[in-house]
Amino acid sequence: DTAVSQTPKYLVTQMGNDKSIKCEQNLGHDTMYWYKQDSKKFLKIMFSYNNKELIINETVPNRFSPKSPDKAHLNLHINSLELGDSAVYFCASSQDTAGEQFFGPGTRLTVL
Amino acid sequence: ILNVEQSPQSLHVQEGDSTNFTCSFPSSNFYALHWYRWETAKSPKALFVMTLNGDEKKKGRISATLNTKEGYSYLYIKGSQPEDSATYLCAFSDARSGATNKLIFGTGTLLAVQP
């Protein structure tokens, strides 16, 4: 009964490829997020969706496109992968805009 | 630029020691302050969400205080145990941002508790 799940857990790919990471939450939350953990282990918000609507869109290259088919899913598609995209990507969800966020297990992306 | 700073960067204590660390954040336009516990190879787990100046929260041996006027929060662990070893993250959200769930994370305090 995993609360926030991400697939895949590991992703190794070549530069220039297009890849997707999927996220699902079964908590009934309205809001979902994507974070990037950089090489210094710093967690930085990328996107947030509330009820399938984009509400946070940080300064992220437009090669990154989130898609929320429904409240329980927020997928991250990345075009033309670059070496600098290598990182751990975390999905999270929260009930409302002030509540605690529940994080998924992370997806480690390695671009070769 | 909103800055969230945590100190110390890392801390090594003996089992049974009590410890505390600090999170500093902008004192204006405060909305909420979150504390998360992040064990190695796992995902961050929420400890506390604090919204009012003077808030004090407690969960077992861990407690936190909040001072929004001066822009700091303390996290205390009483009688540290090896299983408390983790990175403790704080995160701040700004009422002006238009998205009060946009968390700005600090870099964390890495706690190692020696048996």
pLDDT digits (tens, 9 = 90+) for B29-63: 899 999 999 999 899 999 999 999 999 999 999 99
Nearest to A86 by CA among A65, A108, A106, A66: A108
Locate tokens 């984009």: which residue? Answer: A54
Amino acid at B16: G
Q: How far from A41 is each of A45, B22, B40, B87, B106, CA to CA, in Å?
A: 13, 19, 11, 11, 10
Task: For residue B114, give how far its alpha carbon lies from the nearest alpha carbon of chain A (Å).
Answer: 23
pLDDT score, position A85: 95
Query: B73 and B67 in contact (C-beta within 8 Å)?
Result: yes
Copy the structure tokens of residue B47. 């400890």
What's the pLDDT at B21? Answer: 95
Residues A76-93: tens digit of each pLDDT: 999 999 999 999 999 999
- DSSP reduced 3-state for B15: coil
Cβ-nearest to A99 among B42, B49, B99: B49
pLDDT of A7 over the 70 cut: yes
The minimal CB distance from B99 to the residues A56, A100, A106 is found for A56
Question: How far apart are alpha carbons B16 and B28 in whole angstroms?
Answer: 37
Closest chain B residue to A108, measured at CA? B41
Residue B99 has pLDDT above 80, yes or no: no
